[in-house]
Chain A
Amino acid sequence: MGKYIAQRIGYMLITLFLIATISFFLMHFLPGTPITNENKLSPEQREIILETYGLNDPLPVQYVKYMGGLVTGDLGVSFQYDNRGVTQILMDRIGPSMQLGAQALLIGTILGVLLGLVAAIYHNGFMDYTSTIVAVLGTSIPSFVFAALLQYVLAVQLGWFPVATWEGFSYTILPTIALAIFPMATCARFVRTEMIEVLGEEYITTARAKGLKGSAIIFKHGIRNALIPLITVLGPLAVGLLTGTLVIEKVFAVPGIGQQFVSSVTTNDFPIIMGTTLLFAVFFIVMLLIIDILYGLIDPRIRLAGGK
């Protein structure tokens, strides 16, 4: 197991290196520099700034410098925010995004799994149709529509929650709900399909032939087998939610990383773009590793190499 994880981490570093390289060059192939939009600067001043930050160096030189910094953990400084360190900015920003994402993931998954299970157990019944409709609406209506609705009804009309901004737990509730709808709908649809399939398996008939009660069959033989494949869906879903979502953060004025990313792209803030991209990449590949390890723990048919 330890050897397997070490090997995986090795591969992860290679992947990260490739991602860093590719995004670095892609970013620099686009026209413009971080100060292209600064109209007040004179040509001389521009030249001085470009020279100071090494933006006049040939691209390979800039690349080597950047990667050198990266190895030592230095992500550079931001152009937009008065030379603050990228690491510091990302740290400040990732907090709200992760909190929202985690809350939404938790609520969405639990509700979605329940909805999916109920739909499968009462297959073709009233509950099934209800949950299917909820799932279809949840996946097809964009989250900002829900966000606006929630704000209007629960915050403006009823006044139960604050409309926007980020000043405490009560401020997280509406964005969490808005964010949770998509994972809920996705989980519900997925779990329903899996559970219906599992309930049709031969080993469920074996369990019935043993004389087990319906509930025992569903809990002991059904749910575990139906939920294992869900891990595959949850991984990418979790990364998407935890790394911030542009629209919801914008609508609720959450100081998260999604908003940050957009403004960095529009101002060509190279170090922030690189930093955010790498952060997302790290999240994603760590999540993939976690999924693989979880699979090994939950599904006895998959045992990781070397682990016994």
Chain B
Amino acid sequence: MEKILEVKDLKVSFKTHGGEVQAVRGVTFDLHKGETLAIVGESGSGKSVTTKTLMGLLPKPHGFVKEGSITFDNKDITKLKESELQKIRGKDISMIFQDPMTSLNPTMKVGTQIMEGLIKHQNMGKAEAREKAIELMNLVQIPNPEARMKQYPHQFSGGMRQRVVIAIALACNPRVLIADEPTTALDVTIQAQILELMKDIQKKVDTSIIFITHDLGVVANVADRVAVMYAGKIVEIGTVDEVFYNPKHPYTWGLLGSMPTLESDEEELFAIPGTPPDLIAPPKGDAFAARNKFALEIDFVEQPPMFKVSDTHYAATWLLHEDAPKVEPPESVKKRIESMDHSEEATR
């Protein structure tokens, strides 16, 4: 498969009064053409920072890339100047934001906001951009686009605003679309509509999507592959089937086990104890060790490398080392995985 984006050992830090926060501590992944890669993890795991770095949108001067590279189009994005980044942003890589209530300019007509990118990147005149904007609004299924163009964001519902945000992101046919929790701020019914819309659009425009979320249900629904992030690192990456039905990292077990399902009313949720580590002074060994009841001694001393499970499936846990004791996921998590299997089959 054709690689479109290659992230190698990316490290991003923020300068704060308390010290340097190591938000991303060595992230490596590839994005292939036409695929959807989901990045999951709890708040503060570095998933949003990673994607902001992909667009060169780190808040300056506090945020900076410490190490690593992001290769796109044979160029390293981390080394580009602001003016070069501006040519990529919105054109080749674009972004859908989390909260449609705040991500649109309240005093600018919706149509103008969609047209801006077109005028900037495609050298379109106003009339041409207008036509294209109407086309885009049709694509994201906003009814009556001619009239809606002239309205302001406050005249749109949350779901409709998110459609506008998607239209803005899609304006220049980006090769990479980053969706930063695009459904988190929406009602559940609207969430489903937006997800369907995004899947639908991906088929039509053949773009690669990086989908950030903490909702595993969404991952199962939209993604081809999934990367699990914890404390600024990817701890497990693989296809959705591999990570969901054959998880190897105890943190992934925890994530799957803490997801409520319809059948889970009697059994207990497998909650992960404790809180994530302080990233100003991250622990020496595996960052998850302190919360991990399966942690080995070496977990507290040395960080685990990525162990290969299959050609597409990797996990960073010493449990995969040949000398490690054989450990099975906890019973409740196993049950959860089985029940998912059944419900998946039922829907298929």
Distance (whole angstroms) from the CB of A39 to the closest CB of chain B: 64
Interface membership of chain B positions 108-126, coded 1 if the CB is closer than 8 angstroms to chain A and 0 otherwise? 1000010011001100000
| Bound CA span A237–B57, Å | 40
Question: Using Cβ atoms and an 8 Å threshold, which residues of chain A touch B169?
Answer: 209
| Bound CA span A213–B86, Å | 7
Distance (whole angstroms) from the CB of B60 to the closest CB of chain A: 11
Q: Which of B95-103, B267-275, B304-312 contacts A (4 or more CB under 8 A)?
A: B95-103
Closest to B114 in A: A210
Count chain A residues whose beta carbon lies closer than 8 angstroms to a beta carbon of B.
23
Distance (whole angstroms) from the CB of A217 to the closest CB of chain B: 10
Question: Using Cβ atoms and an 8 Å threshold, which residues of chain B touch A207?
Answer: 105, 116
Contact for A301 among B89, B103, B152, B168, CB less than 8 A: B152
Tell me if A208 counts as interface (CB < 8 A to partner B): yes
| Bound CA span A122–B184, Å | 34
Do residues B154 and A203 form an inter-chain contact, with CB atoms below 8 A?
A: no
Do residues A208 and B105 form an inter-chain contact, with CB atoms below 8 A?
A: no
Do residues A205 and B57 form an inter-chain contact, with CB atoms below 8 A?
A: yes
Do residues B103 and A210 form an inter-chain contact, with CB atoms below 8 A?
A: no
Contact for A209 among B89, B106, B152, B154, CB less than 8 A: B89
Tell me if B55 counts as interface (CB < 8 A to partner A): yes
Interface membership of chain A positions 207-232, coded 1 if the CB is closer than 8 angstroms to chain B and 0 otherwise? 11111111010001100110010000
Do residues B107 and A210 form an inter-chain contact, with CB atoms below 8 A?
A: no
Contact for B106 among A205, A208, A225, CB less than 8 A: A225
Contact for B107 among A202, A205, A209, A225, CB less than 8 A: A225
Distance (whole angstroms) from the CB of B147 to the closest CB of chain A: 13
Question: Using Cβ atoms and an 8 Å threshold, which residues of chain B touch A216?
Answer: 120
Do residues A209 and B94 form an inter-chain contact, with CB atoms below 8 A?
A: yes
Tell me if B87 counts as interface (CB < 8 A to partner A): yes
Tell me if B165 counts as interface (CB < 8 A to partner A): yes
| Bound CA span A300–B107, Å | 6
Question: Using Cβ atoms and an 8 Å threshold, which residues of chain A touch B113?
Answer: 206
Contact for A211 among B91, B97, B105, CB less than 8 A: B91
Tell me if A92 counts as interface (CB < 8 A to partner B): no
Asked whether A221 and B57 contact (CB < 8 A) given A209-B89, A210-B90, the answer is no
Tell me if B315 counts as interface (CB < 8 A to partner A): no
Question: Using Cβ atoms and an 8 Å threshold, which residues of chain A touch B91?
Answer: 211
Asked whether A211 and B57 contact (CB < 8 A) given A300-B106, A300-B107, the answer is no
Closest to B102 in A: A202
Tell me if B139 counts as interface (CB < 8 A to partner A): no
Question: Using Cβ atoms and an 8 Å threshold, which residues of chain A touch B218?
Answer: none
Tell me if B4 counts as interface (CB < 8 A to partner A): no
Question: Using Cβ atoms and an 8 Å threshold, which residues of chain B touch A213?
Answer: 86
Contact for A203 among B86, B89, B106, CB less than 8 A: B106
| Bound CA span A213–B113, Å | 15
> Which of A203, A210, A214, A300 has its CB near the most chain B CB atoms (within 10 A)?
A210
Asked whether A206 and B97 contact (CB < 8 A) given A221-B108, A225-B107, the answer is yes
Do residues A206 and B120 form an inter-chain contact, with CB atoms below 8 A?
A: no
Question: Using Cβ atoms and an 8 Å threshold, which residues of chain A touch B99?
Answer: 202
Interface membership of chain A positions 232-257, coded 1 if the CB is closer than 8 angstroms to chain B and 0 otherwise? 00000000000000000000000000
Mark out the residues of chain A between 77 and 95 whose CB falls within 8 Å of any chain B CB in the assembled complex.
none
Do residues B121 and A203 form an inter-chain contact, with CB atoms below 8 A?
A: no
Do residues B165 and A206 form an inter-chain contact, with CB atoms below 8 A?
A: yes
Can you list 9 A-B contacts (CB < 8 A)? A203-B104, A207-B105, A209-B94, A210-B94, A211-B88, A212-B116, A212-B120, A300-B107, A301-B152
A interface residues, Cβ below 8 angstroms from B: 201-203, 205-214, 216, 220-221, 224-225, 228, 298-301
For the complex of A and B, the 5 pairs showing the least CB-CB separation, nearest first, are A211-B90, A211-B89, A210-B90, A202-B102, A300-B152
Known: A206-B104, A211-B90. 4 other contacts (CB 8 A): A201-B102, A210-B94, A211-B86, A213-B86
